[in-house]
Amino acid sequence: MSESLSKDNKPVKKQAYRLYAQYVLVGAALGAYYGFFYRPTENTVLFISVVLLSLLSALLVTVIQIWKKGYSFKQILVVYLKSFVMFFLFLLMLWARPMVQEWGGKGLLIAFTTITGALIGFTMGLKPKPVTAKITENKK
């Protein structure tokens, strides 16, 4: 881990993160599902609705997650941004499917939705590593 100095010249360790691969795999599988079984429709959705729904959904999820837990502003912001990215990527994937299929056919559509699903899974699966106190034992 990299260390930096705090205001009182004590080393400060940066938070390490762990990626849970099952989230990436499940996200990719769900993305592939949305690509394989996509059927074009006549209805269109405005891009602004993707952004607004993402903002609103992230706000709602953040309020539910922080309710009575005493998070700092930084932690609340991280929860909100992570939720926003997850919802925005998902809704963007759904919004862009007709265009992607028109540009590159079914194969590109499946690749696009699978990669987007994996990115959503990556966003969900990136968690801070638990901090454990290091115990040093002197063996003689």
In a domain, 73, yes or no: yes
Per-residue pLDDT reduced to its tens digit, 51-84: 999 999 999 999 999 988 889 999 999 999 999 9
Per-residue pLDDT reduced to its tens digit, 116-135: 999 999 988 888 777 665 55
Per-residue pLDDT reduced to its tens digit, 20-36: 899 999 999 999 999 99
- Give the domain range for residue 120: 16-128
In a domain, 8, yes or no: no
In a domain, 9, yes or no: no
- Mean of per-residue pLDDT scores for the chain: 87
Please report which confidence band the pLDDT of residue 113 belongs to, taking 50, 70 and 90 as the band edges.
very high
What average pLDDT score do residues 89-103 get? 95
In a domain, 89, yes or no: yes
What's the rounded Cα separation, in Å, for the pair 42 and 35? 18
CA distances from 130 to 4, 11, 16, 127 (A): 20, 19, 9, 9
- Contact present, 135 and 25 (Cβ < 8 Å): no
Nearest of 135, 139, 96 to residue 115 by alpha carbon: 96
In a domain, 62, yes or no: yes
In a domain, 4, yes or no: no
What's the rounded Cα separation, in Å, for the pair 84 and 51? 9
The reply to whether the predicted model has a pTM over 0.85 is: no
Query: Using CB atoms within 10 A of its CB, is residue 55 exposed (0-12), middle (13-18) or buried (19+)?
Result: middle
What six digits make up the tokens of 68? 């009575």
In a domain, 1, yes or no: no
In a domain, 3, yes or no: no
What's the rounded Cα separation, in Å, for the pair 125 and 26? 10
Q: Total domain count for the chain?
A: 1
At residue 124, the pLDDT reads: 87
What's the rounded Cα separation, in Å, for the pair 93 and 34? 9
